[in-house]
Structure 1
Amino acid sequence: MEEQGYIEIRVDNINNSLTPKDIDINEIKNVISDIETFLYPSREEKKLRPQISYDIESGSAKHKFYLPISAVILFNGLTTEINKRKSLDFLDYKRQEVIDKFQKKAIKEGYTIEFNNSLSKESSLIIDINTNYDMIVPQFYESEFYLYGEIYQEGGKSPNIHISTTKFGNLTISATKEQILDGEKKTYKPYGVKVKGKKNLADGKFNDLRLVEFINYRPIFDKTLLDKIIGRASKNLNKISNLDLWIEGLKTEGI
């Protein structure tokens, strides 16, 4: 078993009178969620993260998280680097957002927030009413995306298609007349589309989507092929000690 350590978020007010009893459960929930995101920003990392235990202690209000030492090293390294650079520019968007939330809370409530851990006797980072780190990651990024769903409308004066997806809801995608008229009528049929556009880094929503091409999506059930694949896989599945845990690690959100 990996060596364990802890990280600590120590919160105090201007009067140095804060105690755990003064902390609302919503604030506790937010601290827990923010620390999890700071350590494991992506959905995949959250699904595979190790166990984290939590406690709140007196001496102001100390939010303590007990977890593997590798996570403590990561936390110590990132917070030390923030303190050294006096900048968030090297962090990904979600980690920048977590630090920004802490500094907004410090300014609003008059808090001093110390980031401590079991590797060092000194605080690796302190945020208070004078802290002013700017978030500099762009709000959007441009790329190509593949989306799947049912096309429920196409055409219009300004040509576009409307597609209903499981993950992102209903989306509007601009297209040309030639793209829409090419081939069979696609309304009320399942299709994939390759698009160009912008995706919001904060909430994952799309903007300015433009159609590149249609991808005909017609899944065909082949029981014979499925039985063969199951037969081949069963030999290796029997070697996995905890099958439920292994399958859980493979799960992803559908589009």
Structure 2
Amino acid sequence: MEKTGYIEIRITGSKGNLDLSPGNYDIREVIEVLEQVEGLIVPGDKKDRFPISYQLEAGSVRHVFKTSLQYIIGFNAVVGQVSKYQSVDFLDLPTAKAFETFQDIAFKKNYVFEVKTSLDNTNIVKIDKTTRFCRTEAIWVDAEFYFYGKITSMGGKERSNIHLATEDMGILIIQTEKEYLAKLENNLLYKNYGVRAVGKQHAETGEIDKTTLRFLELINYQPAYDEDYLKELRSKAKNNWSGSIDPDKWLREIRGGYDA
């Protein structure tokens, strides 16, 4: 049987003259925290993740998330590093955004967050209006991307977008103008396409902020294995090598000074 533990997000503060409690804690505030927890605990692939159960308890308000001990141990290490360096710049994007959300709530409502686990000697990080758990904006830069995959959904009532299922990055939700989608004559669903998009990318790690992706262009993409085309390329390369290129000289140039 899978061993479990829990992560606790305790929030203290007040509502007017009343101390914060489950009785005066609004449902929208509950949702605000719940929306961040999956990314906080499991920032990567969520397809086969362990279940995460939830309880709201008194004292002042305690969000308790029970899940696999494997997640608890990993998250405890994250909490320790965040507390030590008082920074979220080194975190995976979903985890960093969760801490940023808690920081924003703490600042706006004068709440105090205390994040810890059920482990003995757990690490603890506290977030209040005096802390600054926000990513360094200069690290995130505008970039252009090309994604390839199968379009699984299009449209949206409030925010129109394209859902593109990719092999290496999962499903990408790319913000797309309604006017563009309305003009499309062909049915693109469940067909393979390329999408040119812009968004934010981490200047040091190369990580893409998937929530910032905006559509630029649709690219016809029908990959096919063409043996004749590959043979032609190999033939051209062979002829070039046998004529104008000195293999020994070329290899020395590639190595640079490594064999000097």
Using the size of structure 2 for normalisation, the TM-score is 0.60
- The question of 1:215 aligning with 2:221 is answered yes
Q: How does 1:104-253 map to 2 (within 5 A)?
A: 104-121=104-121, 124-136=124-136, 138=140, 140-146=142-148, 167=164, 168=174, 188=186, 193-194=193-194, 196-200=196-200, 201-209=209-217, 214-216=220-222
Corresponding residue for residue 61 of structure 2: 61
CA-to-aligned-CA distance 1:193-241 (integer Å, 9 cap, x gap): 5455423525253355596xx43489xxxxxxxxxxxxxxxxxxxxxxx
Contact kept in structure 1, 2:148 and 2:195, CA below 8 Å: yes
Instruction: State the match for 1:73 in structure 2.
Output: 73
In the alignment, the residues of structure 1 paired with residue 175 and residue 101 of structure 2 have an alpha-carbon distance, to the nearest angstrom, of 28
By how many angstroms is 1:88 displaced?
1.0
Determine which of 36, 39, 42 is the counterpart of 1:40.
42
RMSD: 3.3
Post-superposition offset of 1:51:
1.8
CA contact (8 A) 1:197 1:210 kept: no
Q: Tell me the distance in 2 between the aligned counterparts of 1:140 and 1:189.
A: 31
Are residues 1:11 and 2:11 paired?
yes
Task: Give the unaligned 5+ runs of structure 1.
Answer: 150-163, 173-186, 219-255
> Alignment partner of 2:20: what SS?
coil
Match of 2:77, SS state, is: helix
- 1:30 alignment counterpart: 32
TM-score computed with the length of structure 1 as normaliser: 0.61
Q: Distance in 2 between matches of 1:204 and 1:32?
A: 21
**1:102 aligned residue:** 102
Q: Aligned partners of 2:69, 2:94: CA distance in 1, in Å?
A: 22
Identity level (%): 27
Q: C-alpha deviations, 1:66-121, integer Å up to 9, x for none? A: 11111111211111111111111111222111111100100111111001211144
Query: Which residue is equivalent to 1:234?
Result: none
1:16–1:60 contact (8 Å) kept in structure 2: no
Query: Aligned pair count?
Result: 186
1:147 Cα offset (Å): 5.5
Give SS of 1:205's match: strand
- The one-letter amino acid paired with 1:53 is S
| SS of aligned partner of 1:73 | helix
Give distance in 2, aligned partners of 1:169 and 1:109.
Answer: 31
1:2 Cα shift? 2.1
CA distance in 1, matches of 2:12, 2:163: 44
Partner SS, residue 132 of structure 1: coil
Shift of residue 144, structure 1, vs aligned partner? 2.5
Asked whether the equivalents of residues 21 and 60 of structure 2 are also in contact (C-alpha less than 8 Å), the reply is yes
Alpha-carbon offset, residue 40 of structure 1: 1.8
> Aligned equivalents of 1:95 and 1:9: distance in 2?
14
Deviation at 1:10, TM superposition (A): 0.7
Cα distance in 2 between the residues matched to 1:61 and 1:130: 20
Could you tell me which amino acid in structure 2 is paired with residue 88 of structure 1?
Answer: V
Q: Which amino acid aligns with 1:65?
A: F
